[in-house]
Amino acid sequence: MAGTMLQPLYKSLASLEPEPQLIDYASARAGFSWAAARAELAGLPDGGLNIAWEAVDRQVNEGRGDALALIWLGKTGERREISYAELARASNRFANLLERSGLGKGDRVCVLAGRVPELLVTALGSLKAGAVFCPLFSAFGPDPIRVRLAKSQARLLVTTALLYQRKVQALRGDLPELERVLLTDGGGETGADSFHALLEAEADHRPAPRTRPEDSALLHFTSGTTGTPKGALHVHEAVVAHRLTGRLVLDLRPGDRYWCTADPGWVTGVSYGIIAPLANGATLVMDEAEFDARRWYAILERERVNVWYTAPTAVRMLMKAGADAARSHDFGALRFMASVGEPLNPEGVLWAQAVFGQPFHDTWWQTETGAIMIANYRSQEVRPGSMGRPLPGIEAAIVRRRPDGGADRLGPDQEGELALRAAWPSLFRAYLHDEARYRQCFADGWYLSGDLATHDADGYFWFVGRSDDVIKTSGHLIGPFEVESALLEHPAVAEAGVIGIPDPVAGEIIKAFVALKPDHAPSERLRKELIGFARTRLGPAVAPRELDFVDDLPKTRSGKIMRRLLRARELGLPAGDLSTLEGADEANA
């Protein structure tokens, strides 16, 4: 491997690095109690708990007010530093503004923005006021935004002038509950106010929050195979797991420079882009710009990043950019590197070893689990290709669902569904307005993840795939139904089926199969038009990258599109059990 020439000299300084936060896995598990993890928090009078208080005010009250909470790197070269004390004051202003606007307990506040400091202020201020913070992915087009704003019943949205004009303004009529829109960089637009002007007018102090551990705090939309996106609801108690995993898995400690590259519109960008690092007293590095290998290496070096949390797609893009881009950089401050969101190829782990002198540590979790559940730890051997072992306090297993609604535990090397023994502090408490879907996630006291996996005799878990049809593209979870619904709105489309197909960089890309209405004929022009149509509605991150015309789509007897079969045909795989297929005899022939 090219990188082996880069044997890093700085690793000889490894003895200067602090000891790992988790030293002995077995004894950490054996001696673990959630009550002890809970007792590490500052808490509020009368048993109250608040995520923002733990993340920011606690640090200020314990004398770390002058420490940096954020180093913000703007797209155009700007660099801004914000201390914990400043962040506490700014989030107080936002909480005061919410309260004076009549928003409080349980009200949803959404953000549609990239990586900007205002996002942090909104998240923390909302939590302080007892509101529920809900981030939206800024690369979404108007359709997914409308669906999520409507389902969340958001009363307030913080966004930018450009995103507002392009994606939200025209929807206002469909969103009667959305009372107020604040723009981080404007205010003259119809129906919107200036974030900064309004905050300026608020006091920067306020009494401690009055939230309880089981009060709703965070709402994250995620996708299933069918239906509208699911709103996974988390409570303030989740911060117990955020802080714990930040320490035990990401090895964070006060004063660390920490960079999480995730988009704030997804769960990682909140749990590990904001809460876990701040609750551990670290300094966030936040880069507004999109991926650029040279820029990233320069940031790691210049900002002396100690802990880095990224995604396999980014790792593969760095690998693609070549070892030359990394050469001549000093990554001596880097102590721990981890990734999440999709399978991390063993090559990525080994490449990191050559270029950085240390491996990437794979971690596994989901929107629903709220925090890291399975991980490779800094002090433990990394098994390239394995997601690692369960967090202390977490019991993970491979199970098979029984027809009677129960679940049977399977042994080593047997493939089944990855399950976690309920409950733990950051387990989601509901799918908003979807009680039945929530209940389907549980059987015999297990939370069932929908992932297929195995574990070996040493307790390391290995990812196999999804048991449903959701697509992971560049680490983003996309529901095929949402993409199909957008295509169906085009007048030429009779039926659409959407699947993920393997891609060497993005993991999977989205591919659509479309059957046209009788008076429309396939053409290259129509293909481009349909892709463009989907991009306008869904946004480039969600729209299909490829589109094929077909005469009709394989369906079950009850009329559901068999995406599994589309995928098998596309990839030349065995089709599996087709007994429920409509016209099964022909298909099997």
* Positions that interact with ligand 6R9 (CB under 6 A): 222, 266-268, 340-344, 362-367, 387, 449-451, 463, 466, 472, 477
CB of 371 to ligand 6R9, least distance (A): 9
Task: Give CA–CA dist 259/339, Å, rounded.
Answer: 12
Q: Which is nearer to ligand 6R9, 267 or 514 (CB)?
A: 267
Cα dist from 128 to 102, 197, 241, whole Å: 14, 20, 19
Degrees to nearest 5, angle at CA 465 with 463 and 466: 125
Q: Which is nearer to ligand 6R9, 310 or 363 (CB)?
A: 363
CB of 477 to ligand 6R9, least distance (A): 4
What's at 125, amino acid-wise? G
Q: Which is nearer to ligand 6R9, 164 or 460 (CB)?
A: 460
CB of 193 to ligand 6R9, least distance (A): 32
Q: Which is nearer to ligand 6R9, 362 or 469 (CB)?
A: 362
Q: Write the burial class of residue 101 (CB in 10 Å: 0-12 exposed, 13-18 middle, 19+ buried).
A: middle
Q: Which is nearer to ligand 6R9, 344 or 542 (CB)?
A: 344
Chain centroid offset of residue 351 CA: 24
367 touches 428 (CB < 8 A):
yes
CB of 65 to ligand 6R9, least distance (A): 31
Degrees to nearest 5, angle at CA 531 with 525 and 532: 85
Query: Quick one: which of 311, 317, 262 has its CA closest to 284?
Result: 262
Q: Write the burial class of residue 549 (CB in 10 Å: 0-12 exposed, 13-18 middle, 19+ buried).
A: middle
CB of 389 to ligand 6R9, least distance (A): 13
Degrees to nearest 5, angle at CA 205 with 203 and 210: 120
CB of 307 to ligand 6R9, least distance (A): 17
CB of 232 to ligand 6R9, least distance (A): 8
Q: What are phi and psi of 81, to 5 degrees?
A: -110, 135
CB of 220 to ligand 6R9, least distance (A): 8
Cα dist from 165 to 75, 154, 430, 505, whole Å: 21, 18, 33, 32
Q: Which is nearer to ligand 6R9, 305 or 441 (CB)?
A: 441
Residue 94, Ramachandran bin (φ over 0: left; ψ between -120 and 50: alpha; else beta): alpha
Q: Which is nearer to ligand 6R9, 251 or 368 (CB)?
A: 368
Q: Which is nearer to ligand 6R9, 155 or 220 (CB)?
A: 220
Q: Which is nearer to ligand 6R9, 340 or 396 (CB)?
A: 340
Pairing of strands 68-73, 283-287: parallel
Task: Give CA–CA dist 241/271, Å, rounded.
Answer: 10
Six-digit token string for 89: 């004051």
CB of 254 to ligand 6R9, least distance (A): 25
Task: Give CA–CA dist 176/146, Å, rounded.
Answer: 12
CB of 267 to ligand 6R9, least distance (A): 5
Give residue number: closest CB to ligand 6R9.
Answer: 367
Helix or strand (DSSP H, E) at 192: none
Q: Which is nearer to ligand 6R9, 103 or 470 (CB)?
A: 470
